Each structure stands twice: as structure tokens, then as C-alpha cells.
């Protein structure tokens, strides 16, 4: 097992190197005002048995979680995702029958998740555009990592391992969580990031396991490129170093903060065809010396969907300040009710159309969506959860620019596989109103169970009345004419003559 713990702070929150105390395999010091990342790298034999069996059937498995409450980003952790649980998966062999092991594992680790098998519940990702995307995708709105915290504490931590249990407990306050495995590296990497705040600096490492501790801050080394992030600070390898080593380096960063924000809301009245409106205070791109296009990436649960045929009309798109539908997962059934589907939903990538004249004037873009029929409920309404989209500028890097993996790189986010390898993502921060929630709660009218008995009785009465009317008409004809008409009788008599 290897651990890497990184604190990233602003310049004004720095600490003196002399305040750090390193003794054997531990380090301590004053509290920090910083963001914190904790990455743990594990071999397969260090995992629970059921997880080992699942990964041996997998070519790639990437799990990404983002919280439903708004938070600020700092340092190299600028990437954004719609709030919820995102799973990207490629099986070891395409011909292997899906036993539902992955869905069962997700339910064990993350609680009640509507997932049966990858064939039925996952959507298939395109592999004809860029080879670095996985084969399948799944999404589920998940507000808390409490089930995962309990799972790790009970199944991954030894009964006497207080450090592991403490780390598992802290997951409930994390701003993001990643789990990654691929057959090339043959290791599992779990990464949790906590937002900027007061962090306790007291770390003990395990014997015979490498633990690196970094305390970093932004800096600008000489010849820093526009697509790079420069950092400076202190680095310590516990058990090897007796004092922290100063470092100054830069690395390519595909995800950056655009220093802009957006808000999201559903226009009223909602109806069965609601419109999601995105509001922006400015139309200026983050950089001037590159081509940039603004995008919104949506993960829509199966209760709501976008119609790709409606989004194929250029004039209609222009009226909504949209440029084009760049991607929508398939299939998207336009008629099926929610209770007849097993697929998780759909992901959508839309290119937005800011005003041609760049300015600091506010503007809006509108995304038309459609609700599915839901199962009946008491009171005649059901509430569905629709995550805010991730909004970013996709900018092209200069020719010859390469993006080798950096120490904090975050890949397999769903939308990054839809762009070329030289794309820079400048993320626009979501700014919700009071409460800070990044989940829209949408009331949907459904059949009221309190009144459905009257509807059933009324329907039965109408059917019975119609049936009696038809019987009465047939009986009246029979009483007047018998089995055949008078004309038929006369024709029969002529034939006899």
C-alpha cells in the first residue's frame, strides 16, 4: 500500500517549515487552512475478496462521486461533475455473460441503487471517436458517502486499525471521491478530496508502506506554460526523511478554473415539458489566444430526458442560445414510462451559444426537456431529482502540446472522452441560491391514489353502461325481426318456387 497526502493552501495561509515535527514514521504541526487530498494505492490482494473477484473480470472500472452541495475548488482539483455517483466500466471480455456482480457490489458499497446488470442498467459509450473512453456508463443521484464509509470500516479496515476507520469516517465530509482500476497498472487507486478549511496536521504511516506528505501552494516557475500549473512547497517521505524537502515544479493541468459562475433553474410553469435555464453573468471565454466553446454536460435520470430530434433543428437551437447537440447516450426511448424502464437514464453534451459580441452582460441558455409518466402516488404528485449540469469551456491547446499524466490528473469523467487529447477544460463554478443544493427537485403530476378508486369505479360504470346499451340494441332488433329480416324470408320463398 502507498499513501499520498497533499495539503494545498493559499499564500496567506502558509506555515513555517520549522513548525513541522518529524519523528520516525509520523509528522505533526499546526493546523492548516487548506484543501486536502488523500490518495491510497492498493494491490488486488489487499482488497476484500468479493472486490478482487469483480476486478479480475474488469478491464477498467472508474467510480466518481460528487456531492450535492456547492463547494469551491482550489489548486489542481478544479474538475467538475454533475452531483451524484458516476460509474464507467469496461469488462475484461465482451463475450462474458453479465452476472450482475458489479451492480451487486455497488449496492453493497453505496446503499440502495437501482441497478440490476450492466446490460440492462448501463448505457453504452461510443468507442468510434476516441479510444480512451470506457464501454459502459451508469449514474445515480447519491447525496452522501455514509454507506461507503460504513462498508470500508467494516470490510476493508482491520478490526484494530483505528487510522483506517478514522479515514473512512472522514469520507462523509469529502468534496469528491474517486476509485480507479485498470488491467495495465493492475492496482486500485482511491482518491478523496476535502474542500478548503481547517485541516489537522497529524499523520502516522504504516510500517513497510510508503507515505508521502506534501504541503503546497501556487507558484510560477520560470518558463511556465499557459496550460501548466506551478506549485511550490514542502515534501516529506515518512520513515525516510528527517526534515521536509523544498520543491518547486510545474505540470500540465487539463482542468482549470475559468473564474466565472453560472446558475440553473427550471422555468415556470413546469408542465410535462420543462425548460432548464442556465444563467451566465458574462460571455467572455477564459483565454483569448485559443479557440474555446462553451458546453453543458447533463446526466439525466430516466424520469426526464432530452429529445435528440428536437435538438436537431438549427433555428430552434439558435432561439435557445444553443449551438448543437454534440452527444446523447443511446438508446433514449421517447415514449416509455419510467416504471417500464431499467436503464439508468441518459447523458447529454450540448454546446452553448454565447452572444457573439463578448461582454460582461448577463445572458441565458435554455435546454428543453421532457418528463416521463411516473407511477401513481398519494396526493397526485411525485418529486424527481435532476442534477445541475457541469459547465465548462473546451479550449484547444497549441500544436505540439502534450499532456502526460500529472500527479493530480483526473480522467474518465464521461465528457472528457468526447474530446481530443489536447483539450483544456476551463470549469465554470455552479452558484446555487440559498441552501447550496445542486439538485433540482421537480414536482411531477401523476395519478392520485386517493382518487383512483373513483376513477376505477367510474371506468367500470362507463364500460358496463356501454355493454348494456349494445345488448339492449341487439335484443330490440331480435325482438322485431327474429334471426333474419323479412327480405331474407321473401328471397327464400322465391327460391322454393
**pLDDT digit string (tens) for 216-238?**
999 988 888 878 899 999 999 99
Q: Which helix (H) or strand (E) holds 251?
A: strand 245-252
DSSP H stretches of helix in 309-445? 314-319
The Cα-based distances of 395 to 276, 426, 492 in angstroms read 25, 8, 90
- Report, as an integer, the average pLDDT of 370-383: 91
Flag whether 454 is in a domain.
no
Shared domain check, 74 and 101: yes
pLDDT above 90 for 263: yes
d(CA 137, CA 121): 9
Q: Enter the C-alpha cell of residue 86.
A: 458516476
* Residue that terminates a domain, selected from 226, 252, 278: 252
Examine the fold and report which residue of 227, 252, 277 is the final residue of a domain before the chain moves on: 252
Cis peptide leading into residue 269 (ω within 30°): yes
**pTM (predicted TM-score):** 0.89
Lowest-pLDDT range of 31-45, 124-138, 173-187, 326-340 = 124-138
Q: Is residue 360 part of a domain?
A: yes
Same domain, 141 and 185: yes
Asked whether residue 341 is domain-assigned, the answer is yes
Domain for residue 120, yes or no?
yes
Sheet holding 26-28, edge to edge: 21-23, 26-28, 202-204
- Residue 222 is predicted with a pLDDT of 81
455 domain residue, yes or no: no
**Residue 377 covered by a domain:** yes
Same domain, 377 and 431: yes
For residue 330, tell me if it sits in a domain: yes
CA 209 – CA 2 distance, rounded (Å): 6
Mean pLDDT calculated for residue range 109-122 = 93
Range of the domain at 222: 2-252
Question: What pLDDT, on a 0 to 100 scale, did the predictor assign at position 496?
Answer: 59
Both 243 and 276 in one domain: the answer is: no
At 115, is the pLDDT very low, low, confident or very high (cuts 50, 70, 90)?
very high
pLDDT average, residue stretch 176-180: 97
Same domain, 178 and 310: no
- Give dist(CA 141, CA 439) in Å, integer: 9
Same domain (yes/no): 354, 413:
yes
* Same domain membership, residue 216 and residue 315: no
Name the pLDDT band for 207 (thresholds 50, 70, 90).
Answer: confident
| Of the candidate ranges 85-99, 103-117, 467-481, the one whose mean pLDDT is the lowest | 85-99
Question: Omega of the bond prior to 65 within 30 degrees of 0, cis?
Answer: no
In the predicted structure, residue 366 carries a pLDDT above the cut 70: yes
CA torsion sign, 69 to 278 to 289 to 425? Answer: positive
Q: Does position 130 have pLDDT exceeding 70, yes or no? A: no
Evaluate whether residue 399 is within a structural domain. Answer: yes
Position 227 scores a pLDDT of: 80
Higher pLDDT, 210 or 487: 210
Q: What is the overall mean pLDDT for the chain?
A: 90
End-to-end CA distance of the chain: 109
Q: Are residues 198 and 74 in the same domain?
A: yes
Give the pLDDT score at 478: 78
Whether residue 282 has pLDDT greater than 80: yes
User: Is the domain of 426 the same as that of 468?
Assistant: no
- Average pLDDT value for residue range 288-312: 94
Contact 201, 7 (CB under 8 A): yes
Number of domains making up the chain: 3
pLDDT at 391 over 60: yes
DSSP H or E run through 146: helix 146-151
Clarify whether residues 271 and 164 are in a common domain.
Answer: no
411, 489: one domain: no
Q: Is the pLDDT of residue 274 over 80?
A: yes
C-alpha torsion sign, points 188, 391, 194, 114: negative
Question: Is pLDDT above 60 for 95?
Answer: no
Are residue 260 and residue 149 in the same domain, yes or no? no
Amino acid at each position: 500500500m502507498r499513501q499520498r497526502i497533499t495539503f494545498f493552501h493559499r499564500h496567506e495561509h502558509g506555515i513555517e517549515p520549522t513548525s513541522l515535527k518529524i519523528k520516525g514514521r509520523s509528522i505533526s504541526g499546526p493546523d492548516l487552512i487548506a484543501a486536502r487530498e488523500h490518495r491510497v494505492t492498493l494491490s488486488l490482494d489487499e482488497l476484500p475478496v468479493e472486490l478482487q473477484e469483480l476486478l479480475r473480470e474488469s478491464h477498467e472500472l472508474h467510480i466518481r462521486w460528487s456531492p450535492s452541495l456547492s463547494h469551491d475548488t482550489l489548486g489542481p482539483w478544479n474538475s467538475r461533475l454533475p452531483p451524484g455517483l458516476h460509474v464507467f466500466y469496461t469488462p475484461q471480455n465482451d463475450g462474458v455473460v453479465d452476472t450482475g456482480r458489479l451492480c451487486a457490489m455497488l449496492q453493497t458499497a453505496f446503499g440502495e441503487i437501482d441497478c440490476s446488470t450492466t446490460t440492462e442498467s448501463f448505457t453504452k459509450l461510443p468507442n468510434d471517436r476516441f479510444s480512451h473512453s470506457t464501454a459502459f456508463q451508469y449514474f445515480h443521484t447519491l447525496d452522501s458517502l455514509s454507506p461507503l464509509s460504513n462498508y470500508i470500516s467494516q470490510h476493508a479496515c482491520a478490526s484494530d486499525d483505528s487510522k483506517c476507520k478514522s479515514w473512512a469516517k472522514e469520507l462523509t465530509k469529502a468534496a469528491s471521491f474517486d476509485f480507479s482500476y485498470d488491467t495495465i497498472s493492475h492496482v486500485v487507486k482511491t482518491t478523496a478530496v476535502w474542500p478548503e478549511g481547517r485541516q489537522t496536521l497529524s499523520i502516522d504511516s504504516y510500517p513497510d508502506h510508503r507515505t508521502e506528505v506534501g504541503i503546497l501552494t501556487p507558484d510560477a516557475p520560470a518558463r511556465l506554460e499557459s496550460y501548466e500549473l506551478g506549485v511550490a512547497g514542502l515534501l516529506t517521505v515518512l520513515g525516510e526523511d528527517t526534515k521536509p524537502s523544498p520543491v518547486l515544479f510545474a505540470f500540465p493541468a487539463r482542468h482549470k478554473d475559468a473564474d466565472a459562475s453560472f446558475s440553473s433553474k427550471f422555468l415556470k410553469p413546469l408542465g410535462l415539458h420543462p425548460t432548464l435555464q442556465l444563467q451566465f453573468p458574462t460571455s467572455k471565454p477564459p483565454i483569448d489566444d485559443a479557440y474555446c466553446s462553451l458546453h453543458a454536460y447533463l446526466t439525466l435520470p430516466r424520469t426526464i430526458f432530452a429529445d435528440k430530434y428536437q435538438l436537431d433543428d438549427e433555428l430552434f437551437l439558435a432561439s435557445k442560445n444553443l449551438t448543437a447537440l454534440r452527444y446523447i447516450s443511446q438508446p433514449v426511448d421517447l415514449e416509455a414510462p419510467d416504471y417500464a424502464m431499467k436503464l439508468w437514464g441518459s447523458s447529454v453534451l450540448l454546446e452553448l451559444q454565447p452572444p457573439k459580441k463578448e461582454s460582461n452582460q448577463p445572458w441565458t441558455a435554455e435546454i428543453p426537456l421532457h418528463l416521463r409518466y411516473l407511477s401513481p402516488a398519494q396526493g397526485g404528485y411525485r418529486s424527481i431529482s435532476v442534477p445541475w449540469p457541469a459547465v465548462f469551456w473546451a479550449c484547444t491547446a497549441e500544436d505540439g502540446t502534450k499532456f502526460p499524466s500529472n500527479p493530480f490528473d483526473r480522467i474518465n469523467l464521461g465528457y472528457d472522452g468526447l474530446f481530443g487529447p489536447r483539450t483544456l477544460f476551463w470549469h465554470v463554478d455552479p452558484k446555487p441560491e440559498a441552501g447550496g443544493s445542486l439538485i433540482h427537485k421537480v414536482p411531477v403530476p401523476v395519478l392520485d391514489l386517493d382518487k383512483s378508486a373513483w376513477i376505477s369505479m367510474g371506468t367500470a360504470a362507463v364500460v358496463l353502461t356501454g355493454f348494456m346499451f349494445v345488448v339492449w340494441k341487439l335484443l330490440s332488433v331480435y325482438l322485431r325481426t327474429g334471426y333474419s329480416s323479412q327480405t331474407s324470408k321473401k328471397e327464400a320463398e322465391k327460391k322454393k318456387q
